[in-house]
Amino acid sequence: MVNVVSAAGEPIEPLEVCAKFRNAIGSIIRTKMVLDPMIPDWLTVHEGRKEAMWQLLIRTFILPRGTQDKVKHYAKKMLGESFRRWKSELNTKYVQKGLTPFADYGDITPQQWEEFVRQKNSKESLALGKRNRDIALSNVQKVCLGPGEYQRKADQWRHERVAIIATGLPDPFQGLTDRGWFWLEARKFKIVDGKPHFNEPQTKAVTQKMYELTDLQSQGKFKTKRDKDVLSTALGSKEHGGRVRGVSSKLSFKDGFQEDRSTYKRHDRYKEEMIQAAGQAAESKFREMFAQIAEQQSGQIVTMPLRY
């Protein structure tokens, strides 16, 4: 029985239900219902088949009243992620090593496997794989979390923080919101002079910027608004839809920034961003024109005609 469901729709209490739910999703993906590696991606899986998978899942878990639609949305999203991981595993463990999966996945036919290998060796697939690897390597802010993400670690981090303060040491995350604090916790660090210290220069720079902005915020010199907070400003990049850094990779803005829910029904933020973008564009254009005029007049004496 599930007692508590998160805002994203994930069953989170009792604690052991998180792993059971994830394992059940992985098992369903590997059944005959989906076990066809020739299916290009999750979007092309027939809706009737997705509904059948959901029905298998719901038979295993008793949900709190009124949460079924939310959990269903989350479950289908996780089924999609599990499907993509399974196909990636087939590629890395078998295709790239010249092996076959029949001993482990007996329901896959030789014809299916032959087509899957052809797909993975195509120019388009190889180019996509290279692009994804390059993106992964370019991510310098690597996170150290397990399957349960931030939700799974939150209580542990809170206990550790309380224990530090209880010894009489300064709070290493003083002034940071849970989102900023959790983002730091998810990366490897050690406490130096009462503050988290990172070896990676990029992460160290983000951390320093976060504490600088926190000080400015306490002085009223920096104001936050929804996702334009200390963390996103320090990182220098906007949040992307469908995840909230430091909170969850499965939450929308609406659920990830609940204190600002009212702003989702207004266009104030959109107008503000448009005005800001227009101002920056005008300033850039002015600078460009000024540079051109200066270049044209370089080394020349400009005389103004007299008017009578």
Per-residue pLDDT of 63-78, as tens digits, reads 999 999 999 999 998 9
Q: How confident is the model at residue 100 (pLDDT cuts 50, 70, 90)?
A: very high
Give Cα separations from 80 to 33, 59, 213 (angstroms): 14, 19, 38
| pLDDT at 153 > cutoff 50 | yes
Ranges 65-79, 192-206, 287-301: which has the least confidence: 287-301
CA–CA dist 159, 142 (Å, integer): 24
Distance CA 31, CA 48 (A): 15
**Is residue 229 over pLDDT 90?**
no
Rounded to two decimals, the pTM is 0.63
Residue for token digits 């463990």?
A: 93
Confidence of residue 91 (pLDDT cuts 50, 70, 90): very high
Instruction: Please compute the mean of the pLDDT values over residues 259-284 and round it to a whole number.
Output: 51
pLDDT reported for residue 178: 87
pLDDT at 256: 54
Range 123-127 average pLDDT: 91
- Which helix (H) or strand (E) segment holds residue 205: the answer is helix 201-218
The percent of residues above 90 in pLDDT, for the chain, comes to 30
DSSP state of 141: S
| Alpha carbons 251 and 306: distance in angstroms, whole number | 69
For residue 150, the model assigns a pLDDT of 76
pLDDT category, 304, cuts 50, 70, 90?
Answer: very low
Confidence of residue 281 (pLDDT cuts 50, 70, 90): low
Name the nearest CA neighbour of 79 among 5, 136, 8, 21: 21
Other Cβ atoms within 10 Å of 305 Cβ, number: 4
Identify the weakest region by mean pLDDT among 91-100, 239-248, 273-282: 273-282
Q: Which helix (H) or strand (E) holds 208?
A: helix 201-218
Angle at 135 between CA 131 and CA 141, to 5 degrees: 175
Q: In this structure, what token pair is assigned to residue 259?
A: 């204190």
**Backbone phi and psi for residue 248, each to the nearest 5 degrees, phi listed first:** -170, 150
Which of 27-41, 73-87, 180-194, 229-243 is the least confident region?
229-243
- State the CB neighbour count (10 A cutoff) for residue 276: 10
Confidence tier at 307 by pLDDT (50, 70, 90): very low
- What pLDDT, on a 0 to 100 scale, did the predictor assign at position 106? 86
The overall average pLDDT reported for the chain is: 81
Cβ distance 207 to 198 under 8 Å? Answer: yes
Which amino acid type is present at position 135?
A: I
Type of residue found at 149? E
